[in-house]
Amino acid sequence: KPFKRILMTGAAGGLGQRLRPHLGQFADIVRLADIADLGPAGPGEETVRCDLAERDQVLAMCEGVDAILHFGGVSTEVEFAPIMQANILGMANLYEAVHKLGIRRVVFASSNHTMGMYKTTDTVDATMPPRADGYYGLSKVFGESLSRYYWDRFGIETVCIRIGYCFPEATNHRQLATWLSLDDLVQLLRRSLLTPRVGHTVTFGISDNDGKWWDARHSRFLGYAPKDSSAQFADQVYAGQVDWRDPDDITLVYQGGVFLNNGPKYKP
């Protein structure tokens, strides 16, 4: 196997639970970490309870690992304080530990919400400036910048995957554009972990969908070749939805979709 031990944070979450059965291919030992209960460790697994906001716990969580899949943190738009703790302080704690322990590579679950203020008529590539759609997206921009710094300054490699919509089925027009199948995510993780030199790379976590909004030309060297497409859900979506170009609906105008409705609200 390519690694002796890898760590996955956020392993109790939605993606963590779906990925868990696929991680054994990467390492002899898979260390699963979360602040939430992970259940009993299976063969080849270790479990660790860790709050990403707690520096000492993060250091202990990272000890003895060769690479990290960093999926832990707040995964939706909420108020700033919990995002700051888990995603901002948590990211700083993680990279401090990574540097201290000499860990060479991290795969970071970034998000399409780093670019949610681009319009659904725009095509975005990895060289374009981030345009986050809220605190959550901003925290992922911070994560991308922090990991860039750790590459530039200390040579720690990171692949930032701006994941689209990784759930079993696409049920609306936005999800058709942004859908990522589990198998394609597993392939992308494999390419991100095993490609010999990745430096600091920003890529997009989507399947081979029609009408994509993102152009992954700058990360082609990863060799990611998605096998699935959201086209399998298109008939169902188009049958149920009519006006998905309504210019007065900000959740349709901007790529961030419904996250646009969840940001800070100032009441007069």
Is 135 part of the annotated catalytic residue set?
Answer: no
For position 78 contacting ligand NAI by CB under 6 A, the verdict is no
Structure-block tokens of residue 266:
């100032």
- Please report the sign of the dihedral spanned by the C-alpha atoms of residue 129, residue 196, residue 45, residue 19: positive
**Closer by beta carbon to ligand NAI, 10 or else 130:** 10
For position 190 contacting ligand 15L by CB under 6 A, the verdict is no
| Secondary structure of residue 44 in the 3-state scheme | coil
**Closer by beta carbon to ligand NAI, 180 or else 246:** 180
Span interacting with ligand NAI, options 51-59, 60-68, 149-157, 232-240, rule CB under 6 A: 51-59
- Who's near 26: CB < 8 A, 6+ residues apart? 1, 2, 3, 6, 67, 189, 190, 193
For position 39 contacting ligand NAI by CB under 6 A, the verdict is no
- Per-residue mark of binding to ligand 15L, 69-108 (x: CB under 6 A): ------xx--------------------------------
Structure-block tokens of residue 254:
């901007």
Beta bridge partners of 7: 31, 68
**Closer by beta carbon to ligand 15L, 135 or else 165:** 165
For position 112 contacting ligand 15L by CB under 6 A, the verdict is yes
Span interacting with ligand NAI, options 49-57, 122-130, 224-232, 243-251, rule CB under 6 A: 49-57
**Closer by beta carbon to ligand 15L, 111 or else 147:** 111
Whole-Å CA distances, 137 to 37, 79, 127, 132? 26, 12, 17, 5
For position 256 contacting ligand NAI by CB under 6 A, the verdict is no
Residues 144-203 that bind ligand NAI (CB under 6 A): 163, 165-167
Burial class (CB in 10 A: 0-12, 13-18, 19+), 196: exposed
- Please report the sign of the dihedral spanned by the C-alpha atoms of residue 11, residue 169, residue 86, residue 194: positive
Closest C-alpha to 214, from 222, 224, 204: 204
**Catalytic sites, residue numbers:** 136
Q: Name the site residues for ligand 15L (rule: CB under 6 A).
A: 75-76, 111-113, 165
